[in-house]
């Protein structure tokens, strides 16, 4: 199955911002501006909550993908990168996880 990484989608969104294309939904959001992007992000977050609460709703993955796309558009609008989010998440790795990571090479040597 074809996959698209967050970095790849980030690059497409950045390209739409730099080189607007007629009919592009991403360009439509950037043209409407921050308030529209925030409104759509809030709507998509609500749709994720509704789908997650409903066991028989088949659309949870679709709704999470919509939210991820909207958050990436919001990040581009506010100048936040996927790398920055990854660095922030990495900085939160707890002491026990850091210890486990340090122990890995020692285990390999055995």
Ligand X SMILES: N=c1c2ncn([C@@H]3O[C@H](COP(=O)(O)OP(=O)(O)OP(=O)(O)O)[C@@H](O)[C@H]3O)c2ncn1[C@@H]1O[C@H](COP(=O)(O)O)[C@@H](O)[C@H]1O
Binding-site ranges for ligand X (CB under 6 A): 9, 12, 16, 21, 24-27, 40, 66, 69
Rounded to a whole number of angstroms, the minimum distance from the CB of residue 12 to ligand X is 5
Q: Is the CB of 21 or the CB of 34 nearer to ligand X? A: 21
**Phi, psi at 85, each rounded to 5°:** -70, -40
Q: Is the CB of 21 or the CB of 50 nearer to ligand X? A: 21
Token readout for 86 is 């990854």
Q: What is the DSSP string of 2-67?
A: ----HHHHHHHHHHHHHS--TT-HHHHHHHH-HHHHHHHHHHHHHHHHHHHH-TT-TTHHHHHHHH
Closest residue to ligand X, Cβ-based? Answer: 26
Q: Is the CB of 16 or the CB of 75 nearer to ligand X? A: 16
Rounded to a whole number of angstroms, the minimum distance from the CB of residue 102 to ligand X is 38
Rounded to a whole number of angstroms, the minimum distance from the CB of residue 69 to ligand X is 4
């Amino acid at each position: 199955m074809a996959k698209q990484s967050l970095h790849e989608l980030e690059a497409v969104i950045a390209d739409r911002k730099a080189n607007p294309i007629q009919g592009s939904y991403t360009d439509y959001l950037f043209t409407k501006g921050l308030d529209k992007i925030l409104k759509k992000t809030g709507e998509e977050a609500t749709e994720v909550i509704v789908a997650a609460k409903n066991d028989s709703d088949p659309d949870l993955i679709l709704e999470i993908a919509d939210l991820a796309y909207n958050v990436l558009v919001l990040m581009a609008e506010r100048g936040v990168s996927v790398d920055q989010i990854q660095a922030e998440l990495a900085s939160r790795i707890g002491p026990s996880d850091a210890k486990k990571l340090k122990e890995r090479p020692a285990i390999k040597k055995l």
